[in-house]
A = this chain, B = another copy of it.
Amino acid sequence: MMQILPGFRDFYPADVAKRNYIFSTFRRVARSYGFLEVDGPFLERADLYRKKSGGELMGQLYQFVDKGGREVAMRPEMTPTIARMVAESGNGYRKPLKWFGIGSFFRHERQQKGRLREFVQLNCDLIGEASPAADAELLALVIDSLRAFGLTSQDFVLRLSDRNAWVRFFQQKAVVENRMEELLQLIDKIERQSEQETAEKLAPFDITLQDIRDFIERRDPASFSDLLAELSARGLSEYVEIDLKIVRGLLYYTGMVFEVFDRQKRFRAVAGGGRYDRLIATMSDGRVDLPAVGFGMGDVVLGELIEAVPAAEKKMRDALAAQPACEIYVVIADETQRPQALKIIQTLRQERWNVDFSLTPIRVGKQFQIAEQLQARLGVIVGSEWPQVKFKRLATREEFACPHDVLAERLKTERAPLIFDF
């Protein structure tokens, strides 16, 4: 029997409903920040990632040669595509660009909790503005996105860091420019690597593990004062902590970087991002040079977090219940009236009601049973009384009768409130 690939997911109706709830919530918040939705192709030239992303991502590319002999890769992240799009056509848009996207990405990772090989990422990029005000706008959007799901400062924290602070620190330690990246990658791995290994790798630079720890402890708030003031004016201070252990694994980050974690540290990072001020210039061979800041938030960990926080889980459940798959079930009590029933069904659907019925003749009792399984709110019964029809509030089992055209007319003009007014 045919099987799905490991690390990939099928989305059955309940899964898509949750996914769409996450998408539409995020879409609404991003739009409230004046961000516009964009998207790119699922397949790109492999070179797009090779020099720009770097790090462990390169070993995880779904990469192959296409029928035209091109080296291609399924997109592992959005930022390089955004940078390419801006390099190509960004000049035609007013700056700063505020762009967001929702899409699937692919990484051939070792399978583990919270990591799949295909995952959805919600992305946001603010391009063309280098000031801390842009960083604040982006971080506020991350925080408000999570708050929109019913998550609070009890549930998550944004850990803020700055690659430049590290660069300055290493410069003081006389580290030369072309060894800088190597040390940043070392900081990135500091919590996943043994102390001994880290210390050994630091030794040639004449830096001790204690130097690193002292620097992390200092939390150098100077680099963040403008950014923190902006977040404070927005009333969002409680969501942010300085944590210089964060440096992000990707090569293209240049300044502020951050990651969002659940407070209990039960899950992997919910979101992460930072400044990538040089990437667009690199992509365009210097023709377009715009500072940028962005983030990505994965659906897997976000979904786990929502389900783990009762208030957030309830908010999702309520939102899903407000969108019933079937609002009206049409019961055909007399098969000779089926054509009439079809006409009513057609009318109701055109008036945007979600309507279902039995495609084949079955007992009336069975039809009501299905209506209840579908959690329909209203039953419309078409039978031998035609042109009279009955309708029934399924929750209370109250029944009413009226001519079919009167019913159709009321359902036409009143839409949703009617369900409750009957």
Residues of A within 8 A of B (CB): 1-6, 8-13, 15-17, 19-20, 28-29, 31-34, 36-45, 47-48, 62, 64-68, 70, 72, 74, 81, 84-85, 87-89, 94, 96, 98-99, 104, 106, 108, 118, 129, 131, 133-134, 137, 140, 144, 229-230, 233-236, 283-285, 287, 325-326, 338-340, 342-343, 345-346, 348-350, 352-356, 359-360, 370, 373-374
Closest to A30 in B: B354
Q: Are B1 and A285 in contact (CB under 8 A)?
A: yes
Other-chain contact of A353, B6, B32, B48, B67 (Cβ < 8 Å):
B32
Complex: chain B residue closest to A343, CB-CB? B233
**For the complex, what is the distance from the CA of A135 to the CA of B89, rounded to whole Å?**
45
Bound form: Cα–Cα A340–B234 in Å:
9
Per the bound structure, the CA–CA distance linking A6 and B88 in Å amounts to: 15
B32 pairs with A140, CB closer than 8 A: no
Minimum C-beta distance from A166 to chain B (A): 26
Not counting A5-B66, A133-B360, a sample of 7 additional A-B residue pairs whose C-beta atoms are within 8 angstroms of each other reads A4-B44, A13-B36, A13-B37, A16-B39, A233-B339, A233-B343, A235-B343
Contact of A36 among B6, B134, B325, B355 (CB under 8 A): B325
State how many angstroms separate the Cβ of A88 from the closest Cβ of chain B. 7
**Oligomer copy total:** 2
Contact in complex: A133, B359 (CB < 8 Å) = yes
> Across the two chains, which residue of chain B brings its CB closest to A48?
B2
Assess the A70–B5 pair: CB atoms within 8 A: yes
Interface SS majority for chain A:
mixed
In the complex, A342→B98 CA distance in Å? 17
Q: Is the CB of A342 within 8 A of B234?
A: yes
Complex contact A326–B11 (CB within 8 A): no
A67-B108 contact given A2-B84, A40-B10, CB 8 Å threshold:
yes
Given the interface contacts A32-B354, A41-B4, does A359 sit within 8 Å of B16 by beta carbon? no
Q: A328 to chain B: closest CB distance in Å? A: 10
Q: How far is the CA of A340 from the CA of B9 in the complex (A)?
A: 46
Known: A85-B12, A144-B349, A285-B1. A359 touches B134 (CB 8 A): yes
A349 and B36 in contact (CB under 8 A), knowing A3-B45, A85-B10? no
